[in-house]
Amino acid sequence: MARAVEIRQFGGAEQMQLVDVAVLAPGPGEVRIRQHAIGVNFIDVYQRTGLYPNTLPLRLGMEAAGEVLAVGAGVTHLAVGDRVAYAGFPPGSYCDERSMPAQGVCRLPDGIGYETGAAMMLKGLTAQYLLKSCKPVEGLEPGDHVLLHAAAGGVGLIACQWAKALGLRVIATAGSDDKCALALANGASHAINYRREDFAQRVREITAGEGVKVVYDSVGKDTWEGSLDCLRPLGLMVSFGNASGPVPEFAPALLAAKGSLYVTRQTLFVHTRTRERVQRMADDLFAVVQSGAVKIHIDQRFALADVQQAHRSLEARKTTGSSILLP
């Protein structure tokens, strides 16, 4: 038996309950993992509230790191005793132990601990595809400005550092002066407190009226319109989250009026849809972390039993960097 966090109806943090569950032996293509640390992400909130619908009852969590206890038939890239980390479906990482598909599970390199592994997989792989696969039609070159919202969060701090390593100039937004300072300390060239300043106006000032080639936006509704106003002609709006709520419907003609803009809504799990793709992305992430160019900030640690508080802190935007649960 193991402990797992489960919801029986969609709603607030109070819906999450710690329950005892049976852990089955791994089937074909699966591994059994004893979890050492578990990542907490906004996608977990979206699944808990029902914004991203799933069948109930639902066990939550998309990211963790631990040790392989058993390997099912057909799994060749992992062995018993391997230190591993993962981000992917099905949900259920908020637990002590689980059996799950091995497709998205990667061996952790020496020198990367369980807590770091749990804190960086979903967020780091997201930063990887944003910077490497979501490029504007005119491309990105060293010296180009990019706009990154929620820059002091888990994805944001990784993306700030990685973008700087690629030679990009990040204009970061965050909701407090302290968070802006954190973004600047992690590679951003400029930081805007969106609670005190009009971020679209400031972006135009910073870029001498030109605008940025690309906006990376996980906030959603609250930043959508302003983000479009930050783009130069033929610029790319990359929406990859809904922290403030879903983006409202809009007429495509709006994009023409604002400069023949491009818009895309991205999700990590399309990019990691094959074993080969997820390993390639993970190797890129592991390399940049091991090089020291990207450091993983774990700023909040909660016991698994305190998962409700972890979600409340995340939703209230009281967190910075990554949050993890410890079984």
Report the C-alpha gap between 62 and 117 in whole angstroms: 13
pLDDT (0 to 100) of residue 317:
86
Closest residue by Cα to residue 99 from 35, 54, 7, 163? 35
Report the C-alpha gap between 149 and 156 in whole angstroms: 7
pLDDT (0 to 100) of residue 102:
98
Identity of the amino acid at 296: I
- Contact between 98 and 32 under an 8 Å Cβ cutoff? The reply is yes
Report the C-alpha gap between 266 and 125 in whole angstroms: 13
Residue identified by tokens 């637990």 is 95
* HEC string for 36-105: EEEEECHHHHHHHHCCCCCCCCEECCCEEEEEEEEECCCCCCCCCCCEEEEECCCCCCCECEEEEECCCE
CATH class entry, domain 135-265: alpha beta
Chain region(s) in the chain for CATH 3.90.180.10: 2-123+272-326
- How many other C-beta atoms are found inside a 10 Å radius of the C-beta of residue 22? 6
- CATH fold group of domain 2-123+272-326: Quinone Oxidoreductase; Chain A, domain 1 (3.90.180)
In degrees rounded to 5, what are phi and psi of residue 304? -55, -35
Classify each residue of 192-222 as buried b or exposed e, where b means 16 or more C-beta atoms within 10 Å of its C-beta: bbbeeeebbebbbebbeeebbbbbbbbbbee
The pTM of the full predicted model, rounded to 2 decimals, is: 0.94
Per-residue pLDDT of the chain (327 residues; tens, 9 = 90+): 899 999 999 999 999 999 999 999 999 999 999 999 999 999 999 999 999 989 999 999 999 999 999 999 999 999 999 999 999 999 999 999 999 999 999 999 999 999 999 999 999 999 999 999 999 999 999 999 999 999 999 999 999 999 999 999 999 999 999 999 999 999 999 999 999 999 999 999 999 999 999 999 999 999 999 999 999 999 999 999 988 888 989 999 999 999 999 999 999 999 999 999 999 999 999 999 999 999 999 999 999 999 999 999 999 989 999 999 999
